[in-house]
Amino acid sequence: MNVSSARWFRAYARRALYGVAVAVVCVQAVAQEKLQEVVVTAERREEKLQDVPVAVTAFTPEALQGRALGDIHALSNLTPSVNLDSGAPFSGDRSVLSASIRGIGQDDFAFNLNPGVGVYLDGVYLARTIGANLSLLDVDRLEILKGPQGTLFGANTIGGAISVVTHTPGNTPRFMGTATAGEYNRRDLAFTADLPIIQDKLLSSISVSTLNQTGWVKVIPYPTGSPQGETPFVVDPQNVYPKAGYQTSDNYGGTGVTSLRAKLLWNASDKFKMTFTGDWSHEDQTALPYTVLGVYAGNLNASTFSTLYNLCISNNASTLPGAIAAAGGPPTGINPTLDFVNAAFAANCAKPRAQVPGLSIGGVPLLGAGYVGGPPGPFNYNNHPGTNYLGSNQPRLYFDYAAANTGNIDTSYSNGPNFARYDAFGGSITGVYDVTDTLQLKSITGYRQIKWNIGTDLDGTPETLQEVTDAQHQYQWSEEIQLLGKALGSKLNYVGGVYFFKEAGYVHDYVPFEDVLFIYDFANDVENKNYAAFIHADYALTDKWGFSVGGRYTDVDTSFLGGQGDLNGFLTGAILGTGPLRYFPPIPDNQTWHIFDPTAGVQYHFNPDVMAYLSWGKGFKQGGWTTRLHLPIASPSDARFSPEYSKTWELGLKSEWFNH
């Protein structure tokens, strides 16, 4: 660059920076002059946020983009009384949303359990927490409604509801793109566009994004100078027992997600319009990291699996009964039933690992195997090198804090299953017909399907002490018809309608514990149907006083076929000739509920900027069946649980002070 051009560049840069500074000051001044009017649909019709007698936190597209909020869970720190966690406990996948509002929600991702906070995409309810951590790319509005929303939003909203409204295509062509690079090979690309097809008549939009990043937790071996690293120990091959997948990796916490969202708006006439939406997501990445900070090996009365495993490898057949009693387990010679349990446990310790019908027998028995790491003792290889306990001279790993703690939260000894794969597509058709100037008919039809497959190693060690692999497949479709109107000179606003929802699917997950002392096999089929009718009305008695009342009647019909079993026959000490030990009888079960959710409230407007309200509402979360049994049951009805209910009184004040 020559001198003259350099001077020109510096002068131009100064002018450009001054222009940017002036522009920022002007924008701030305009923002301070008048608060932006936010429109929400918390009561299923468009209203100013200030006028809605519901506790709502709303985010505009400017707020979402300005804070670089990429998905729903990112809103957690910006919303009081709301917790949004990406990756429910031991799900291993950040697409799973664990949401709670005012302390009410659902942490578990199991198919037989329903969320406590409902998530809605363009008016369509998403029934599973899997995939509910939606991307916020090209979103027009996001609303978080606090408290039970049973009347207007229906089942499974006892904590509240989250409504995501995607961008509506415009008449003007619009193109936006972003690219982000960062640590751990982060490479994010996003593109959105408005593409008018026929001016004012047929409008479209599309959004595409891809997110890629290497995981930040590295898998490492034991240091050679440590008790766990100085002597080889046995780790049974991964493929000698069933899993929902066997993929591993050298890191945890990676990202590999591609998303596509499209919308088509057809303004058929001045009175009728239809909106078609579609979305698709594909995820293939490593599982979320789980860093073990501590291990509690309690007594047998607490049914701690780590205690059972450690007892097996540190005793032989003659010393095991006494060790069980010393650890707090049942003594022998007193109760025949407890003697049977002790004998079954000892037999299970003594048999080869992964003794599953139809699969190869892999690994050596646990009983008397000896161990590395752990406390001093006659079975500790570090204290007695060269001891040949089982003829293989290969001990097991003692499970305690030292075996799981790397001393660095960015590293892990876990090298088992490590993957998160998710495919989903869905769509909706929304039709709006203006019957008159004060009456509108609306239909929302939705369909969604998800396939999900994860594997995560939770124990912090190379042994198969606690690993979870899971496969789920779900589809759902719903139809809602609404009638929205005004009457009595617009003093009365009302919305009523009918709703139908159906979902079906299955889950199959494998949970081996403590080097396959147990192999819990969960195979469940679920079907849910929901029929509802609702009405809600607001009446302005005077300029200051207003009242609201509503109710929703819901019929729920749910069926379940449980298949939980123990593939390793722990209770019998051997594999049954008829197959694995079943915990659930292979009999379908059905439950139905008839539930009414009312709501009522009163509002007082001190002036156009200040409103107080008092409301009462009720909601419910669907019941079902527990699927984590420790003993077989005689009938599926023994595993039933009833719906949850929430009733809330709320006193609130909404205000704008000094135009803010």
Query: Do 91 and 27 belong to one domain?
Result: no
Dihedral sign for Cα atoms in the order 192, 197, 198, 202: negative
Can you tell me the distance from the alpha carbon of 652 to that of 603, in angstroms, rounded to the nearest whole number? 9
Query: Alpha-carbon dihedral of residues 235, 236, 241, 247, nearest 10 degrees?
Result: 50
Q: Does 348 map to a domain?
A: yes
Say what the pLDDT of residue 169 is. Answer: 96
Helix (H) or strand (E) holding 197: strand 186-198
Question: Token pair of 235, please?
Answer: 């780790």
Question: How many angstroms separate the CA atoms of 550 and 597, rounded?
Answer: 8
Q: Degrees (nearest 5) of the Cα angle 90, 446, 551?
A: 90
Nearest to 616 by CA among 602, 604, 603, 599: 599
Burial (CB < 10 A; 0-12, 13-18, 19+), residue 308, is buried
| Cα 445 to Cα 477: distance, rounded to the nearest angstrom | 8
* Residue 76 shares a structural domain with residue 5: no
CB distance 204 to 169 below 8 Å: yes
Radius of gyration of the chain (CA): 30
Q: Measured between alpha carbons, how far is 262 from 254 in angstroms, rounded to an integer?
A: 27
Residue 355 lies in a domain: yes
Residue 75 lies in a domain: yes
Integer angstrom CA distances of residue 352 from 344, 459, 543: 14, 22, 80
| pLDDT tens-digit series, residues 174-192 | 999 999 999 999 999 999 9
Structural domain count of the chain: 3
Average pLDDT per consecutive 10 residues, the chain (660 residues; last block may be shorter) = 36 34 30 53 76 88 86 90 87 92 90 93 96 93 94 95 96 94 95 96 97 96 91 80 88 96 97 98 95 64 69 86 74 60 70 54 73 88 66 77 90 95 97 96 98 94 89 97 95 97 93 73 92 97 96 97 76 52 87 98 93 96 89 90 95 77
* Domain C-terminal end among 110, 131, 166: 166
Confidence (pLDDT) at 336:
64
Same domain, 12 and 43: no
Q: Of 144, 166, 188, which residue constitutes the final position of a domain?
A: 166
- For residue 451, give the 3-state DSSP assignment: strand
Which whole-number Å values give the CA distances from 429 to 94, 163, 203, 448, in the listed order? Answer: 28, 17, 15, 12
Distances (CA, A) of 428 to 77, 390, 415: 30, 62, 41
Helix (H, G, I), strand (E, B) or coil at 228: coil
- How far, CA to CA in Å, does 436 sit from each of 111, 253, 268, 410, 494? 43, 54, 16, 62, 15
By residue count, the chain amounts to: 660
Beta bridge partners of 139: 166
Pairing of strands 581-582, 467-487: unpaired
For residue 22, the one-letter residue type is V
| DSSP-derived secondary structure for 60-80 | -HHHHHHTT--BGGGGGGGST
- Helical axes 305-313 vs 336-350, angle rounded to 10°: 60
Contacts of 234 (CB under 8 A, 6+ apart): 363, 364, 369, 392, 394, 395, 396
The residues, any chain, with a CB within 8 Å of residue 278's CB and separated by 6 or more, are: 261, 262, 263, 425, 426, 427
What is the C-alpha to C-alpha distance for residues 493 and 423, in angstroms, rounded to an integer?
Answer: 41
pTM of the model: 0.87
Among candidate residues 339, 371, 398, the one where a domain is terminated: 398
**33's torsion region: left (phi>0), alpha (psi -120 to 50) or beta?**
alpha
Predicted confidence at residue 221, as pLDDT, reads: 95
Residues 7 and 99 in one domain: no
Q: What is the pLDDT of residue 88?
A: 75
For residues 26 and 46, membership in a common domain is answered with: no
**Beta pairing partners, 54:** none
- Whether residue 633 lies inside any domain: the answer is no
- Classify residue 153: in a domain, yes or no: yes
Q: What's 99's DSSP letter?
A: E
- Do 97 and 156 belong together in one domain? yes
Residue 346 lies in a domain: yes
Instruction: Please check whether residues 84 and 10 belong to one and the same domain.
Output: no
* Contacts for 94 with CB less than 8 Å, ≥ 6 apart: 73, 86, 87, 133, 255, 288, 420
Distant-in-sequence, close-in-space partners of 547: CB < 8 Å, separation ≥ 6: 538, 539, 541, 600, 601, 602, 603
Nearest to 257 by CA among 193, 206, 209, 207: 209
- Sheet architecture: strand order including 97-101: 82-86, 97-101, 104-105
Q: Residue 90: which CATH number?
A: 2.170.130.10
* Residue-range definition of the domain harbouring residue 63: 38-166
Tell me, yes or no, whether 63 and 162 share the same domain. yes
Q: Indicate the pairing of strand 202-213 with strand 186-198.
A: antiparallel
* 231-to-333, 391, 399, 405 alpha-carbon distances in Å: 39, 16, 15, 18
Contacts of 459 (CB under 8 A, 6+ apart): 292, 399, 404, 414, 465, 466, 467
Q: How far apart are alpha carbons 322 and 330 in whole angstroms?
A: 10
Q: Two tokens at 453?
A: 């497959």
Residues 1 and 97 in one domain: no
Please tell me whether residues 28 and 77 are part of one structural domain. Answer: no
- In a shared domain, residues 126 and 152: yes
Token output for 246: 């066997």
Whether residue 568 is contained in a domain is answered as: no
**Does a structural domain hold residue 598?**
no
- 8 plus 107 within the same structural domain: no
Which residues, including other chains, have CB under 8 Å from residue 6's CB and lie 6 or more apart? none
In 108-259, which residue ranges form alpha helices assigned H by DSSP? Answer: 150-153
Cα 463 to Cα 460: distance, rounded to the nearest angstrom: 9
